[in-house]
């Protein structure tokens, strides 16, 4: 972490928007408590990033803009992240977990050192097919030249379903989501996109003998949703992130 001169300089914000209002921070410079007020229940479930309003008194090593993970059609994991500024940043250790608790470093991407310009990075994990797991967790360990570290939020990818199941990709998505069936559908089905409060956003019919069905999510507001697919007496429920 950077050297925090005043805990009041720190603030919380989402990557692409500002919600709520800055609260009165607490704690100490070595263990700050950052508060934000006026958030709705749905806004609380989003990811927040730590920022500083004073780059001289309380500089942060990296100001995060975004971090996302997406599963490709061939089963690889693509990671994308960007920063608004960097200070003394050596780079990023790419860390993966298959249970959300035990982490391993699988790669490293060099940082830009010190810069106030937006930087964008990518990394591909092409070893997922060697694991028998349904979930993969990813995070970035940002490393300073002096050895101090900081972490990004965690991103989760759903790798596969049960036999005779479905695959949903890309996830997160911004334009179109593909629902791929392991075998052609035997009868007419349906797909529903719902909020986490179970409010219906989109519903479409899936025709018989379908192997892939595409759902357009471009008009849908960013957030985390529930995707429910039903064909005959089979049902699947997936978590879908729309960006």
pLDDT tens column, 133-169: 678 899 999 999 988 888 898 898 877 544 447 888 8
Count the Cβ atoms, other than its own, within 10 Å of residue 44: 11
Confidence category of residue 29, pLDDT binned at 50, 70, 90: very low
Q: Read off the pLDDT of each residue in 169-178 and give the average, rounded to a whole number.
A: 87
Domain shared by 126 and 208, yes or no: no
Residue 103 reports pLDDT greater than 90: yes
CATH (domain of 138): 2.60.40.10
| Integer Cα distance of 162 and 182 in angstroms | 10
Domain shared by 72 and 120, yes or no: yes
- Nearest in space to 219 (alpha carbons), one of 188, 181, 177: 177
Which one has a higher pLDDT value, 198 or 23? 198
21 three-state secondary structure: strand
- The secondary structure of 40-74, three-state, reads CHHHHCCCCEEEECCCCCCCCCEEEEEEEEEECCC
- Domain end position, chosen among 10, 35, 60: 60
Q: Which residues in 116-242 belong to E strands, given as ranges?
A: 119-125, 135-144, 149-151, 155-158, 166-169, 176-181, 189-194, 200-206, 212-216, 223-231, 234-242
Over residues 33-86, the pLDDT tens digits come to 656 566 565 555 555 555 554 444 444 567 888 999 988 877 789 999 999 888
Domain shared by 171 and 156, yes or no: no
Domain shared by 134 and 183, yes or no: no
Query: For the CA atoms of the chain, what is the radius of gyration?
Result: 20
Domain shared by 82 and 155, yes or no: yes
The domain of 52 spans: 1-60
- Domain end position, chosen among 60, 78, 108: 60
133 three-state secondary structure: coil
Domain shared by 4 and 69, yes or no: no
Domain shared by 86 and 139, yes or no: yes
Domain shared by 122 and 153, yes or no: yes
What's the total number of domains in the chain? 3
Domain shared by 80 and 100, yes or no: yes
Q: Is the peptide bond before 170 cis (omega within 30 degrees of 0)?
A: yes
Domain shared by 125 and 78, yes or no: yes
Domain shared by 69 and 111, yes or no: yes
CATH (domain of 197): 2.60.40.3080
Length of the chain: 243
Model confidence, pTM: 0.53
Domain shared by 79 and 112, yes or no: yes
């Amino acid at each position: 972490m950077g050297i925090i001169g005043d805990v009041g300089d720190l603030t919380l914000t989402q990557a692409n928007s500002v919600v709520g209002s800055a609260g009165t921070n607490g704690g100490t410079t070595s263990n700050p408590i950052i508060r934000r007020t006026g958030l709705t229940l749905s806004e609380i479930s989003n990811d927040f990033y730590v920022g500083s309003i004073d780059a001289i008194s309380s500089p942060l090593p990296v100001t995060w803009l975004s971090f996302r993970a997406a599963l490709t059609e061939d089963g690889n994991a693509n990671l994308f992240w960007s920063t608004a500024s960097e200070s003394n940043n050596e780079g990023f250790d790419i860390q993966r977990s298959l249970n959300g608790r035990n982490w391993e470093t699988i790669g490293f991407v060099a940082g830009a050192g010190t810069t106030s310009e937006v930087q964008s990075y990518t990394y591909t994990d092409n070893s997922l097919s060697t694991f028998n797991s349904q979930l993969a967790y990813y995070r970035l360990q940002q490393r300073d030249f002096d050895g101090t570290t900081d972490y990004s939020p965690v991103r989760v990818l759903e790798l596969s379903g049960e036999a005779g199941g479905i695959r949903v990709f890309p996830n997160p998505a911004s334009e179109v989501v593909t629902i791929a069936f392991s075998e052609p559908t035997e009868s007419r089905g349906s797909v529903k996109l719902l909020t986490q409060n179970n409010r219906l956003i989109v519903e479409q019919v899936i025709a018989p003998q379908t192997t892939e069905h595409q759902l357009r999510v471009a008009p849908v507001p960013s957030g985390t949703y529930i995707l429910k697919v039903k064909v005959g007496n089979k049902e699947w429920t997936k978590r879908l992130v729309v960006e």
